[in-house]
Structure 1
Amino acid sequence: MDNPVIIFGAGGLGKASLEIFQANQVIVYCFLDDDKRLHGQEIAEIGIMGSTDDHGYTKFIGKKCDAFVALDEQNLRKGVFKMLNDRRKVMPINAIHPKAIISGHAYISYGLFANAGVVIGSFAKVGIGCILHSNAVIDYEAELGNYVQVGAGSIIHAGAKIEDEVFIGAGVTIAGPLEVGKGARIGAGSVVVENVKKGATVFGNPAKEV
């Protein structure tokens, strides 16, 4: 990775992404964020220069800069991915902490955020735009769809299949080769022992729909 990076989003996820890139000796050019109150401020001496659609900066992406999307609100995240793909003909790069462990036989797509302690096992698959917080484990042959967020310390057991846009809170266990349907939400600390249907919200040990 030779190009400097523009980070979309100057919140907590953006700050964590900055740390990852700096730990990997990657230059961060600037932040872009739609909160105009932040414009002109700095995070660890990196400026917040404008909004996420500021052509004065986005025009460099795919030429002189790469992009990373550090927005955890799903619709905003998907919107920036689409903009980068449609206008700039690029996809965001990955931000992978040097203390993450990713099998050489795993498949990861674009725009992945993987913080310290993340483990992605052999022949696991991780789709576009996933967010894996600290110490999340995606065990061997598990599959994550696109835009899945997995909270800190959560464990996705081997062979589980998590469909697109699922939110998994911190400390969750998906206990076996189960299926979690598109858009489902799993509350923090839950233990999932049966399939979760599309769009459902579940919580508890064992997890039940609420």
Structure 2
Amino acid sequence: MKNLIIIGARGYGREVYNLALQCEGYKKDYIVKGFLDDKEDALEGFENYPEIIGNVEDYVIQENDIFCCALGSVKWKKHYVEIIGSKGGKFINLIHPTVIVHSNVKLGIGLIAFMYSNISNDCTVDDFVTIQGFVAIGHDSKIGKWCHINAYSFTGGYAILEDEVCLNTRSTVLPNIIVRKGATVGAASLVIKNVKENTTVFGVPAKTLNF
């Protein structure tokens, strides 16, 4: 039996904890050992959660430990996953039983996929992608490493999200569109043309925001 440790004990960490309890591997392949978070009081006022057992930087990996990363920021997810990875930590996929994965889909490691999402045929989903609830990924899409796809988002067929892309809630990427590395798509936005690297777009149709 493996001991699952969740990186991040705040709101999203609590969501991922509940996801872990609902996945098929719970109590068969793993139990939840606890959280890693540098905010020691992150769970104060909340009941029925395992303890915070330390922080990422200082934690010494034990035999049978496995990990998942419950951080909503692409930047910080990558940062803390790489720290655990440098110590030899292994990550698992947490996929809710209602997620539909079609034929010829390739999934990386560290995937978190919430309820009622759909990954259509012949897609590629790289390592450490987060897929929130009710997401639809169209056929032949390619989702790069570290991407974060928020609830009710949609990508059309042959869409490409390069590494470290964030799609916010209810955003839509039309078929054959490329969202380049590090770009962010704002909530409820409609992407009708390619998005440049490290830019933020918002609106219907989505346009670049300058800060």
TM-score (norm 2): 0.90
Residue 31 of structure 2 aligns with which residue?
A: 27
2:160/2:178 contact within 8 Å kept: yes
Q: Structure 1: where are the runs of 5+ without partners?
A: none
Aligned-pair CA distance for 1:206: 1.1
For 1:107, the aligned partner's letter is K
- Secondary structure at the aligned position of 1:76 is classed as helix
1:9/1:31 contact within 8 Å kept: yes
Aligned-pair CA distance for 1:40: 8.0
Q: Please give the residue correspondences for 1:1-210 in structure 2 after superposition, counting only pairs within 5 Å.
A: 2-24=1-23, 25=26, 26-38=30-42, 44-55=48-59, 58-60=60-62, 63-88=63-88, 90-210=89-209
Aligned-pair CA distance for 1:19: 1.2
Aligned-pair CA distance for 1:84: 2.2
How many angstroms apart in 2 are the aligned matches of 1:43 and 1:75?
A: 29
For 1:148, the aligned partner's letter is C
- Secondary structure at the aligned position of 1:36 is classed as coil
For 1:59, the aligned partner's letter is I
2:147/2:165 contact within 8 Å kept: yes
How many angstroms apart in 2 are the aligned matches of 1:151 and 1:43?
A: 26
Aligned-pair CA distance for 1:104: 4.1
What is the aligned length?
Answer: 204
1:15/1:43 contact within 8 Å kept: no
Structure 1 pair 192–48 and aligned structure 2 pair: CA distance change class (3 A): same
Q: Determine what percentage of the aligned residue pairs are the same residue.
A: 28
1:20/1:98 contact within 8 Å kept: no
2:7/2:37 contact within 8 Å kept: yes
Structure 1 pair 42–93 and aligned structure 2 pair: CA distance change class (3 A): farther
Aligned-pair CA distance for 1:102: 1.4
For 1:153, the aligned partner's letter is Y
Measured against aligned partners, the alpha-carbon deviations of 1:6-42 in whole angstroms (never above 9, x if no partner) come to 1110122211211121112241011111112337886
- Secondary structure at the aligned position of 1:198 is classed as coil
1:41/1:47 contact within 8 Å kept: no
2:9/2:43 contact within 8 Å kept: no
For 2:15, the aligned partner's letter is A
How many angstroms apart in 2 are the aligned matches of 1:134 and 1:146?
A: 19
Structure 1 stretch displaced more, 103-112 or 30-39: 30-39
TM-score (norm 1): 0.90
Q: Structure 2: where are the runs of 5+ without partners?
A: none
